[in-house]
Amino acid sequence: MGKIIAIANQKGGVGKTTTSVNLAASLGVLEKKVLLIDADPQANATSGLGIDVESVEQGTYQLLEHTVGARESIIETTSPNVSLIPAHIDLVAIEIELVDKEQREYMLKNAIADLKNDYDFILIDCAPSLGLLTLNALTAADSVMIPIQCEYFALEGLGKLLNTIKSVQKIHNESLDIEGLLLTMYDSRLRLSNQVVEEVKKHFDEMVFETIIQRNVRLSEAPSYGESIISYDAGSKGANNYLSLANELIEKNA
């Protein structure tokens, strides 16, 4: 049975989508069967895997509305072993449309329940908010991975996210675990980066992944070509970091 991991942080620009796309591609290369669900109206995970967002007719929006089944909304990508449920800007309307529905926090969980046996890992790229979309992802997930940028405001808002996770555990999903905190955009030349790493490890200890994602130009370039870092430049530091993270995740869940 597969594991569902939500990749979440309400702060924008911390590397959620970069992690979702490149971790999925890395797991795929390591011969794990992966489904990536784009649950962000910006649809960057969709375009980052080379899918034209404008051409998306069935995706996360229709899935949450229950107008299509999960298997009908899956498309294949050029990344080996990686499938995708894409997003489109229309996903922005879902929070308003679900607001008066019963069991609205369980829409995603119910929609993808049958898919767990089909994949080794199901990754959910969350929107940079703690709204209904992210709540649906956390309710559907077995665990949550939290990317944290190695910069000054890194820990700001983390308490809020951890409180949200506690609420979800209490009310909607008591088996939700924290998969780990992932340090991203690390620059070893900056004293600040090193201070943030120290601080996070001091406070959260074993919850922090050993792998640290370093700042890497190739990582920033890859999405503009609609490719993961694995297909764009497999020899880059970014590719090595994400392969290392994928190996760590596989070992952790062995």
Q: What is the pLDDT of residues 166-179, one digit of tens each?
A: 999 999 999 999 99
43: left (phi over 0), alpha (psi -120 to 50) or beta: left
For 60, 61, 62, 97, 233, the CA distances from 73, given in Å and listed in that order, are 8, 10, 8, 19, 29
Mean pLDDT across the stretch 130-152?
A: 93
Is the model's pLDDT at 120 over the cut of 90? yes
Count of CB atoms situated within 10 Å of the CB of 79: 24
Report whether pLDDT(133) > 90.
Answer: yes
Please give the mean pLDDT across all residues of the chain. 92
Contacts of 176 (CB under 8 A, 6+ apart): 138, 139, 141, 142, 143, 144, 165, 168, 169
pLDDT band at 11 (very low <50, low <70, confident <90, very high): confident
Helix or strand holding residue 134 (H, E): helix 132-140
CB-based burial, 60-73: b 16+ in 10 Å, e otherwise:
bbbbbbeebebeeb
What is the DSSP secondary structure assignment for residue 102, as one 8-state letter? T
Per-residue model confidence as pLDDT tens digits over 211-236? 999 999 999 999 999 999 999 999 99
Q: Residues 31-66: pLDDT tens digits?
A: 999 999 999 999 999 999 999 999 888 999 999 988
Q: Which has the closest alpha carbon to 84: 131, 43, 142?
A: 43
Least confident of 79-88, 104-113, 121-130, 158-167: 158-167
Contact 21, 46 (CB under 8 A): no
